[in-house]
Amino acid sequence: MLTRVIAITLVLFTSFHSYANNSDTTRTLIVFFDGLRPDYITPTLMPNLFGFSQKGSQSLTHRSIFPTVTRVNATSYSTGSYPSTHGILGNSIYFPGTNSTKVYNTGDIKDLCEADSVLNGHLVSAVSLGDILRAAGKEMVVFSSGSSGQAYLQNPSGKSRIFNTDLKQADSVIAKLGPVPPAQKPNTLRHKWVTNALITYGINLSGPLVSAIWFSDPDGAAHSDGIGSPAAIESIKSVDSEFGRILTSLHETGQYEKYNILISTDHGFVTYIGKESLASFLIKKGFKENAKSTDVVLAGGAIYINKGDTSLKRKIVYSLQESTIFGAIFTHPKSKNSLEGVIPGTLSYDAINWNFVDRVPDILVDMNWNDSVNSNGYKGSSYSVGVAGHGSLSPYETNIRLLISGPSFKQGFTSNLPTANVDIAPTILKLHGLEIPQSMDGRPVDEFYKSSRGADLGKAKKQVLKVSNTINETQYTLKLYRILYKDRAYIDYAETIRKKVSK
């Protein structure tokens, strides 16, 4: 529950204390670079991260959790669970069936607390890595230069210490680290401050068993200035420099060989080329009264219909299927556990691990994408409106990297077996000999452990879910690519095809 602890958390959980009960011989460090495309990891842009990737191990088939947005992935990695289990469905979220008509911003801790109150303390419905560590007498500490909501959703019970540059810090922390610098784009000074906090209060063999640091770039600069812009390039080099300082500190203090380090990101990135938003489309078509009306409520691509017109859902879906700016469309399952949606040409929420029954909308629509190249030479575009961003099911947003190194893992190993951000928490629990709850959807990435040498790891199998519908003279076909491994379905990407057909 966030509501009951927030007043304490903002002030007290940033103060330092010892961890005498964390006596394990190894520690874990989690590093997230927000919005890190795989093609940023080069000797020129990110020499420190590139060097780490070459010496350690990496998953080349690592995937973001859909929707490919920050707070969904922060919660998914921290709980080892999909949105269908933990209930955070997007960067913005609406709760049908409650008295609230508000769309909550999950990036703001105040909105999270308000939403938690509306839901009687059940905003996040999954146990987290931090909860399990705490029950075992251990601790996870979060360090973040990003939003307060993102920081808290990495340990969503709200009971962990968090060093976040958007929150008030304890006087003792300010005295040691100095005041938190103002936000910038790139957010260089805040990255430096939060790295100082990690080095001071996190990476220490007598410190927390698990430390997690989240850098808000290159996401922030890419959103505002575009992929490959001077600001975006500067932001990439900035966070790589801070990562280099972390590695240097570990080496200089003789701790490097005691730390297992797992590095990932929440999503990739695309250039935006759209001219019309979902809201303006629905208003123009007469499905929604105006931008502020509650007859149809939008939370990202989620469409909640509050009108009595029972045919409206089908009408909206058919209009979306005809328009080339929209991509994959999802609805409630056609029948229990069906991967096909209730409306022709749609897939179900079950197909994307998103079916948190009490919260899902009438329709979830993705923006379409293509392979076009932007002015800076970066491939991948979306029909969303703006400069650049993420959230959709293009391979440029779902395809990310998992980099691993440490005493428990193989070195110089590359895997093509599928992994996803839900696998991070189970992997860390196994590292420290703690039981993995059955409620977790992820798995330990056994293929990377030294102990798995010579083991039969099995094979992955590709799967394509395909549905079609014809509206007027347009045939809409949706394909969802998934990778099946160890009784799990990893979402790869989706594409839509439209063809003109004669009646």
* The pLDDT value given to residue 15: 37
The string of pLDDT tens digits covering residues 62-83 is: 999 999 999 999 999 999 999 9
* The pLDDT value given to residue 159: 63
Q: Would you say residue 431 has pLDDT above 80?
A: yes
- Whole-number Å distance between alpha carbons of 167 and 294: 32
Strand, helix or coil at 399? strand
Q: Would you say residue 36 has pLDDT above 90?
A: yes
Work out the mean pLDDT of the chain and round it to a whole number: 93
Angle (CA) 137 130 34, round 5°: 145
Q: How confident is the model at residue 156 (pLDDT cuts 50, 70, 90)?
A: confident
Rounded to an integer, the average pLDDT of 131-155 is: 95
| Alpha carbon 339 to chain centroid, angstroms | 23
State the amino acid at position 338 in one-letter form.
S
- Whole-number Å distance between alpha carbons of 199 and 203: 6
For domain 6-270+392-452, the CATH superfamily is Alkaline Phosphatase, subunit A (3.40.720.10)
Q: Would you say residue 10 has pLDDT above 70?
A: no
* Range with the poorest average pLDDT among 407-421, 444-458, 488-502: 444-458
The string of pLDDT tens digits covering residues 456-481 is: 899 999 999 999 999 999 999 999 99
Q: Would you say residue 241 has pLDDT above 50?
A: yes
Report residue 16 as tokens: 């330092």
* The pLDDT value given to residue 454: 74
Q: Would you say residue 420 has pLDDT above 70?
A: yes
Q: How confident is the model at residue 309 (pLDDT cuts 50, 70, 90)?
A: confident
* The pLDDT value given to residue 18: 36
Strand, helix or coil at 484? strand
- Whole-number Å distance between alpha carbons of 109 and 65: 22
Q: Are strands 369-373 and 210-215 parallel, antiparallel or unpaired?
A: unpaired
Q: How confident is the model at residue 14 (pLDDT cuts 50, 70, 90)?
A: very low
Residues in the chain: 503
Count the helix, strand and coil residues of the chain and give each as a percent rounded to the nearest 5.
30, 25, 45
Q: Which residues pair with 399 in a beta bridge?
A: 63
The answer to whether 312 touches 353, Cβ cutoff 8 Å, is no
* The pLDDT value given to residue 3: 42
Phi-psi region of 278 (alpha: psi -120 to 50; beta: other; left: phi over 0): alpha
Of residues 160 and 327, the one with the higher pLDDT is: 327
* The pLDDT value given to residue 367: 98
Q: Is the peptide bond prior to 407 cis by the omega test (within 30 degrees of 0)?
A: no
The answer to whether 397 touches 68, Cβ cutoff 8 Å, is yes
Sequence spans of domains, the chain: 6-270+392-452, 276-324+326-367+461-500
* The pLDDT value given to residue 477: 98
* The pLDDT value given to residue 455: 83
* The pLDDT value given to residue 206: 87
Of residues 297 and 25, the one with the higher pLDDT is: 297
* The pLDDT value given to residue 310: 87
Q: How confident is the model at residue 158 (pLDDT cuts 50, 70, 90)?
A: low
- Whole-number Å distance between alpha carbons of 156 and 131: 9
* The pLDDT value given to residue 503: 66
Strand, helix or coil at 374? coil
* The pLDDT value given to residue 144: 97
Q: How confident is the model at residue 24 (pLDDT cuts 50, 70, 90)?
A: low
The answer to whether 360 touches 332, Cβ cutoff 8 Å, is yes
Report residue 480 as tokens: 């969802």
- Whole-number Å distance between alpha carbons of 150 and 69: 10
Q: What is the DSSP string of 307-367?
A: SS-TTHHHHHHHHHHH-TTEEEEEESBSSTT-SBBSSTT-EEGGGGT---TTT--SEEEEE
Report residue 62 as tokens: 């690592």
Q: Would you say residue 135 has pLDDT above 50?
A: yes
The string of pLDDT tens digits covering residues 187-234 is: 999 999 999 999 999 998 889 999 999 999 999 999 999 999 999 999
